[in-house]
Structure formats: C-alpha cells, structure tokens
Amino acid sequence: MVKKGAFGDSWYFNHILSGKPLVFAEEPAGYVPGTVYDDGKIYGGYYTKDQIREMIAYAAERQIEIIPEIEIPGHNMALLHVHPEFFCTGEHKVNNVICPGQEEVFPFFEKVLKEVMDLFPTPYMHIGGDEAEKSNWAVCPLCQKRIADEQLKDVYELQSYCIRRVEKMVNACGKKLIGWDEILEGGLSDNATVMSWQGTEGGVEAIRMNHDVIMSPSTFYYLDFGQDAPYKEPIAFNAYLPLEVVYSYEPEEDIIAACGKDYDPSIMKHLQGLQGNLWTECIIRSDHFEYMLYPRSFAIAENAWSPKGSKNYPVFREKALAFIKRIQEEGYHTFDLASEVGHRPEADVPIPNLALGAKTTWRKGDKVETADMLVDGYLGDWTIRRDPKWKEFNGKEITLDIDLGECKDLHYIGVEYVDFRIRRFRLPDDAQFLVSEDGVNFVPVYTPKLRLSDDRSHYCILTFGGTVNVRARYVRLQFNKGPKKLRGYLSEVIIN
C-alpha cells in the first residue's frame, strides 16, 4: 500500500495544532482532488497538475505570478513519513529535517524540483531553507562524514552545502533560487535571492552582501499575528501587529542605518520588493483568512509603491476604512477597523507596588539571571513575542525570587501571565508563591487555584495570585516539578 502525505487526523488540524502528534492517514475513498476533505476523522487534500495549471492561468490574467516553494532541508515531516529512509541515522531529535549526508536525498529532490519547475512558468524557484533544526546532523554519522569529506566547518556549512547543491539543480533548469534568510547560514552563492523573515537584520545583511532581497519581516508583515486586543479577536499567533505598525515599515531606513558611513545608494537595486505572509496554522475557515488579510494587506501594498517619506497614516487609515466598506459590500469578511481598540493602555503606566525595582533572581536549572522586567511596574502589551515586557519561561524547573530589601507586611501577591492553551502557553498547574523572612526558610502562601476549562482555546491575559496576610522580605514564585517541559510568559509580579 502506497503511503500518502496529504492527509492526517482531523482533530490535529481543526484544533490548531494543539500539541497532539500528527497521525497521517491514507487517501480516503472517493476523494475529489482540489477540495478539502474533512469527515471529522481525516483532513487533507491535494491538487492535480491540471488544477495547478488552471490556477497559474487565472493568476496570470490578473498580473499575478505564482512562485512555488519546495522546502529543503527542513519542514519535511510529510516527506519523511513517506520516505523514512531519508532520516538521519543515530538519534532523531527532530522529525522534519532530511539527512544531507545521504547521497540518495539529492537525486530525489532533483526529480521533484524539475517536475515542479516544469509546471510553473515563473523564473524563480523557492526552496525554503528555513527553520532547519540541526540537532540530527550533529549526531548523525553520515552528516559528520559529509562534513569531513567536504571539509566543512560545522552543521551550518553543511546547510550551505545542501543549498548550493540544490541551487545547481535550479539553475540547470534555467531558474533562479529564492530562500528564506537562513540560507545565509554558512555562506551563500552570489545569484541567490533572499526572502528575509526573521526581523529585518537578515535582509539588510544580504543586501550589504549584494544579494537580491525581498523584505518580509515577521515584526511588520506576518499577518497571522493578532491585530487588536485578543479578548475580541479570533485565534491568532501570539503577537500583536496592528495596521499602523504594518504601515510604518520603511525598508530603506533599515538599510541606510545598518550601512552607516558605508552606505552606497547603488545597493538599493537589490531591494526587489516587499511581501506579507499569512500562515494558516491558526486559520481554518476562509472568512477568518480574509479577516486577517484585510486591511493589513492594503498597508503592505501602499508601502511597496510609496516613495520613502511620503506616507501619512491618518490619511491612509481613512482610505482603508473606505476600501473596507467597498469590499464588505462585495461579500468579503474584514477586520472592523472602525471599532479598533488599539494597544493595551495598562501597559503604558507603571503600577505602584512594593516589588518595584526589587532585586530579582530567575533560576532555570543551573542557569541564573535577573528578570527586572517583572518588577518594573509595567504590564505587558497584547503581544508577547519579542516584547521586553514579557519574560519567557521554557524549561523544567524554574524559580523566581524577589528580594524586597526588608521585611514588610504583605496583603497581595500576584503575577500576570498569558494563557493560550492551544499554543501551549499557560501557567503550570502546580505554580505557587512562597515567602520567607531570611531567604532560606520558605513557606507556601495560600492563593486560589486556577479553575480553567481544559478545552479553552482563546489567547488571554490572566492573573495568578490573591490576597495574603504575611510578613516577609523574600517572595518566591515556583512552578513545575512535573514531567513536562514548561513554556509560557509572565509580564509582572505585583506585591502590596
């Protein structure tokens, strides 16, 4: 029986990838290509070549060029399900990265790439190259032999070796290679185009190296990020990206600032354009897709065709409101810009409390560091990703100690955190506060247990803690002790 990689269990996809391992499924009987199959148990689908040709023709009539992407060497869970022989030997720490130490991998991809490139008339071929976790390569004898045989320095140069070989396949078919900014790791050939998503630094670096670049920074152009207060929004990735921030991006400014005195205006010829990305990990329905796309995609388009320094957000916002009304009348589902809440006002003004400026010690296993952002009085904004007001916890044994400087009467202890269960961000069930007068002998204080539904799915900001009646100098937040690794975010500890 031939294995398929186009279908998996429906629960996994329709509950937003909430931690349950993906189980692949065989193609259901009677499946019609070009449709989404979902019977509550199996989810998936694929297109035929003729259907793809129809899409290419439809796009071409509207002056749209479709560029295909075949991910190499990561994001290959489905491929490795069908071809487990392409796994690394030795310990498998990740399940979606192919083994570049196996020679058989390259003719396989050559065949796939040629078939795809023959189908799409675009002069470009996108090969991904992003998020290729290299833990397997570090312990794989075949990868280590490849590194030695090719006189490579490390696994990063092994990625570069892999990308260069693939680029030769692409060039042999008369196409030009595009990849995400990780293809810069270990060195890159002169003719490759970089699509920069990890902030703006990768794209700026590539332009300074005279590579063509498409700027697509997640900090400005990832439309799967939430666009307003999460309590009123559909499920989105754990970051806040409102229309004004999308509109504010000026790629030229990044490039000029990075170059400093060495700036040469001629390098701007390598800035090929801008791209917004709407990944659908948290999106199931088409109306949700449209909601995340409009009006932020308008801002990206306006940025792309507006000369540097010519933009005006208040004017643009009025145009966006008018355009929203127009496309809503045509049946599109859009974000309601007119009722936008905006950023979290509680994040602007510090909260007076006894913990302000207190000495903090954050312990994760043997690692010790300070966590001043938890005692600066400022609550976090709607975003948590890359926001310095939030402290990430990610590990198995984590303790936060706060030294108030002297013994004080305490009547309230609490901490704010993000609860987003489907993305596995939450406070552990065994979280507890403890207090001490001497910093040696700690005793737990009673705070109400969290009573949250196990099937909750929405992103929200909650507080753990409550009223107390103790005298102490030291306050400790301790959690874990369980078998599972923790992952979550805290924004502020409040003590009064």
| Residue 2, pLDDT score | 46
| Residue 96, pLDDT score | 92
| Residue 428, pLDDT score | 81
Q: How much of the chain exceeds pLDDT 90, in percent?
A: 65
Spatial separation of the C-alpha atoms in residues 348 and 377, rounded to whole Å? 10
CB-based contact 85:104 (threshold 8 Å): yes
Question: Quick one: average pLDDT of 15-42?
Answer: 85
The answer for residues whose C-beta is within 8 angstroms of residue 417's C-beta and 6 or more apart is: 426, 427, 461, 462, 463, 464, 488, 489, 490, 491
pLDDT > 60? residue 194: yes
Tokens 């490795």 found at? 80
Question: Quick one: average pLDDT of 456-468?
Answer: 86
CATH 2.40.30.10 fits 345-495, yes or no: no
435 forms bridges with which residues in the sheet? 443, 475
The domains of the chain are located at 1-46, 345-495
CA atoms within 13 A on the CB side of 348: 4
Q: What is the pTM of this model?
A: 0.87
- Average pLDDT score, the chain: 90
Spatial separation of the C-alpha atoms in residues 11 and 17, rounded to whole Å? 9
Summarised one tens digit per residue, pLDDT across range 381-422 is 988 777 888 998 877 778 999 999 999 999 999 999 988 877
| Residue 448, pLDDT score | 81
Q: How much of the chain exceeds pLDDT 70, in percent?
A: 96
Q: 482 pLDDT band (50/70/90 cuts)?
A: low
| Residue 19, pLDDT score | 60
Summarised one tens digit per residue, pLDDT across range 311-339 is 899 999 999 999 999 999 999 999 999 99
Q: 427 pLDDT band (50/70/90 cuts)?
A: confident
Q: 259 pLDDT band (50/70/90 cuts)?
A: confident
Question: Quick one: average pLDDT of 292-301?
Answer: 97
Q: 308 pLDDT band (50/70/90 cuts)?
A: confident
| Residue 309, pLDDT score | 81
Read off the tokens for 71: 């991910």
Q: Decide: helix, strand or coil at residue 489.
A: strand
* Higher local confidence (pLDDT), 424 or 123: 123
pLDDT > 60? residue 431: yes
CB-based contact 411:469 (threshold 8 Å): yes
Q: At what angle do helices 296-305 and 313-329 cross, to 10 degrees?
A: 130
Summarised one tens digit per residue, pLDDT across range 132-157 is 999 999 999 999 999 999 999 999 99
| Residue 12, pLDDT score | 80
| Residue 1, pLDDT score | 36
Q: 495 pLDDT band (50/70/90 cuts)?
A: very high
Summarised one tens digit per residue, pLDDT across range 81-116 is 999 999 998 777 788 999 999 999 999 999 999 999
Which residue spans within 320-437 are E strands per DSSP?
359-364, 367-369, 391-395, 397-419, 432-436
* Higher local confidence (pLDDT), 280 or 58: 58
pLDDT > 80? residue 62: yes
